[in-house]
Amino acid sequence: MSFLEVTLLLLDGFKITVLLFLITLLGALPLGLVIAMGSMSKFAPLRYLTRGFVWIIRGTPLMLQVILVFYGPGLIFGVQGLDRFPAVVVAFILNYAAYFSEIYRGGIESISAGQYEAGQVLGMTKTQIFFKVVLFQVIKRIIPPMGNEIITLVKDTSLARVVSVTELLKAAQDIVGLHAIIWPIFYIGAFYLLFTGLLTILFNIIEKKFNYYAG
Amino acid sequence: MALLEVSNIRKIYGKEEVLKGVSFSLEKGEVLAIIGSSGGGKTTLLRCLNQLVTPNEGTIMVNDKVIFDSTLSKKMSEAEIRENRLHFGLVFQQFNLFPQYNVMRNLTLAAQLLEAEKIKKKGGSREDKRAAFQKIDEKAVALLERVGLADKMNAYPCELSGGQQQRVAIARALILNPDILCFDEPTSALDPELTGEVLKVIEGLKSSDSTMIVVTHEMEFARRVATKVIFVADGVIEEMGTPEEVFEHPKSEKLQHFLNKDVEFKPGK
């Protein structure tokens, strides 16, 4: 197989990788905020419930979660579950939302009480304090850990192959198996490096944008 | 009738009674200094006035209007508490400026939010809003001039010294025209050489129609600027009077002890 043929086949897999990455972010970024709110709730049952959820998600392998979402409904309840790709998407969103929620929570709890009190004595509502005072400071603080987590997500997409979704890594494995050549499996490393490299640059730019003030 | 009437404020944290029934009143134009050892309840008292802390008992009245009353059967709504809070301004020990906004925006943010709310309620036009915001901007500039920081209006808090930050915080508290401006140890977080500029600004605010409450460890300042001094110890007002009465003729043993300690720490004086 020529280099070009391999590249074209791998690009098909890469498309799935990028798609999974983007949909996961789109779902997990907002869902994480909801979970963070739950885990900071004053209503104890809700707090325990969400923290329990986060514990289970963070305490088990993502691969296991993908398998469970895909095979679980059929094996346990005997009902038709999700297709392969949607099942992977659901598992990824739940998993990453749990991790993001902890980053959000850490960011929100790191803002000093004085910021809230300053808003309060100036007659702001709780909503105004959150959106006009706290949120921006939280975003600045969580950029580095979020960058870390999002780069991990790029590489975690390779777990989708466990339920036969042909993302980048599986695309390479298929070529290796069919054509008895080994190099494509190393070649995909370049794809991942390019992807994470771009994200690193993006996060550096964002971080710089927030650097106009200290604190 | 007094501008501020505080009676029998009690605050209990868990098992500890931090305020054990504190009552005092304040006339318009007065400057009240609250002194006492750390942990005596001074800051808690100030936070009760600003409704950052809800007292367990007592009443607070400003201009004959009830701001807080523990005997009311119905709890005040969030909106009422917000409105009542605006009778008081508060300058914090740690300044608590908003770091992401420049000096100007730190001053105008809350004022604009309140104004926008008012205009929306009245159904005012966009022009009304623009005119109102314009006025707020002008007022902010005037206040910055008053605290000597007009040239810093585009600076961010992290670019200012502690003393400058505290002066911005004072201007920020003033922009909402509080009836009573409170200071919670305004110079305790500052280097000694920076306390002077802040105390000077506070002293400069003294006038017949500005009323202030200052929790402070600066005894010289309290003696010079205050019209009334309260000595708080172990959650009660141990002694209250004019600066002369409190500083020159302390009656209680606790106050005598407290003032002596202050002298001990400054052997030069």
Q: ipTM of this model?
A: 0.90
Distance from CA of B84 to the nearest CA of A (A): 9
Q: What is the three-class DSSP state of A93?
A: helix
Distance from CA of A113 to the nearest CA of B (A): 9
Say how far apart CA A85 and CA A21 lie, in whole Å.
Answer: 12
Select from A123, A213, A214 the Cβ nearest to the Cβ of B110: A123
Residue B172 lies in a domain: no
The number of folded domains in chain B is 1
Residue A152 pLDDT exceeds 60: yes
What token pair was written down for B178? 């509080």
Residue A110's nearest CA partner among A137, A86, A78, A72 is A137
* B-chain residue closest to A115, CA distance: B96
For the stretch B159-165, contacts whose Cβ atoms lie closer than 8 Å and that sit 24 or more positions apart, written own/partner, are: B160/B103, B161/B194, B162/B95, B162/B189, B162/B190, B162/B191, B162/B194, B163/B190, B163/B194, B163/B195, B163/B197, B163/B198, B165/B95, B165/B97
Q: How confident is the model at residue B266 (pLDDT cuts 50, 70, 90)?
A: low
Residues of chain A with C-beta less than 8 angstroms from the C-beta of B97:
118
Residue B88's nearest CA partner among B61, B64, B107 is B61
The confidence score (pLDDT) of residue B263 equals: 58
Residue B111 lies in a domain: no
**Inter-chain CB proximity B113 and A124 less than 8 Å:** yes
Residue B129 lies in a domain: no
**Phi first, then psi: what are they for B178, rounded to 5°?**
-70, 150
Q: What is the three-class DSSP state of B30?
A: coil
Residues of chain A with C-beta less than 8 angstroms from the C-beta of B78:
125-126
Q: Which residues of chain A are at the B interface, by a Cβ-Cβ cutoff of 8 Å? A: 112, 114-115, 117-126, 128, 132-133, 136-137, 140, 212-215
- Domains annotated for chain A, with CATH where assigned, are 3-212 (1.10.3720.10)
Residue B181 pLDDT exceeds 90: yes
Distance from CA of B100 to the nearest CA of A (A): 6
The predicted-structure confidence for A1-26, as pLDDT tens digits, reads as follows 788 988 999 999 999 999 999 999 99
What token pair was written down for B97? 């400026």
**Inter-chain CB proximity A125 and B176 less than 8 Å:** no
The predicted-structure confidence for B40-69, as pLDDT tens digits, reads as follows 888 999 999 999 998 989 999 998 888 888
Residue with the bigger pLDDT between A215 and A112: it is: A112
CB B246 within 8 A of CB B237: no
Residue A133 pLDDT exceeds 90: yes
What token pair was written down for B149? 């920081």
How much is the average pLDDT of B9-17? Answer: 89
The confidence score (pLDDT) of residue B65 equals: 87
In a mutagenesis test of the B interface, which of A110, A117, A122 is the best target, namely the one with the most B β-carbons within 10 Å? A122
Domain that holds residue B82: 4-100+180-265
The predicted-structure confidence for B215-254, as pLDDT tens digits, reads as follows 998 888 899 899 999 999 888 899 999 998 888 888 888 8
Say how far apart CA B133 and CA B127 lie, in whole Å.
Answer: 10
Residue B193 lies in a domain: yes
Residue B127 lies in a domain: no
CB A155 within 8 A of CB A146: no
Say how far apart CA A1 and CA A177 lie, in whole Å.
Answer: 13
What are residue B62's DSSP bridge partners?
A: B4, B65
pTM: 0.86
Residue B138 lies in a domain: no
What single DSSP character describes residue B76?
A: P
Say how far apart CA B163 and CA B161 lie, in whole Å.
Answer: 5
Strands B88-91 and B180-184: parallel
Residue B199 lies in a domain: yes
For the CA atoms of chain B, what is the radius of gyration? Answer: 19
The confidence score (pLDDT) of residue B143 equals: 92
**Phi first, then psi: what are they for A112, rounded to 5°?**
-70, 150
Distance from CA of A35 to the nearest CA of B (A): 26
Taking the Cβ of residue B98 and every Cβ of chain A, the question of whether any pair is shorter than 8 Å is answered with yes
Say how far apart CA B61 and CA B56 lie, in whole Å.
Answer: 16
**Inter-chain CB proximity B82 and A112 less than 8 Å:** no
Residue B261 pLDDT exceeds 80: no
Residue B11 lies in a domain: yes
Q: What is the CATH number of the domain that holds B84?
A: 3.40.50.300
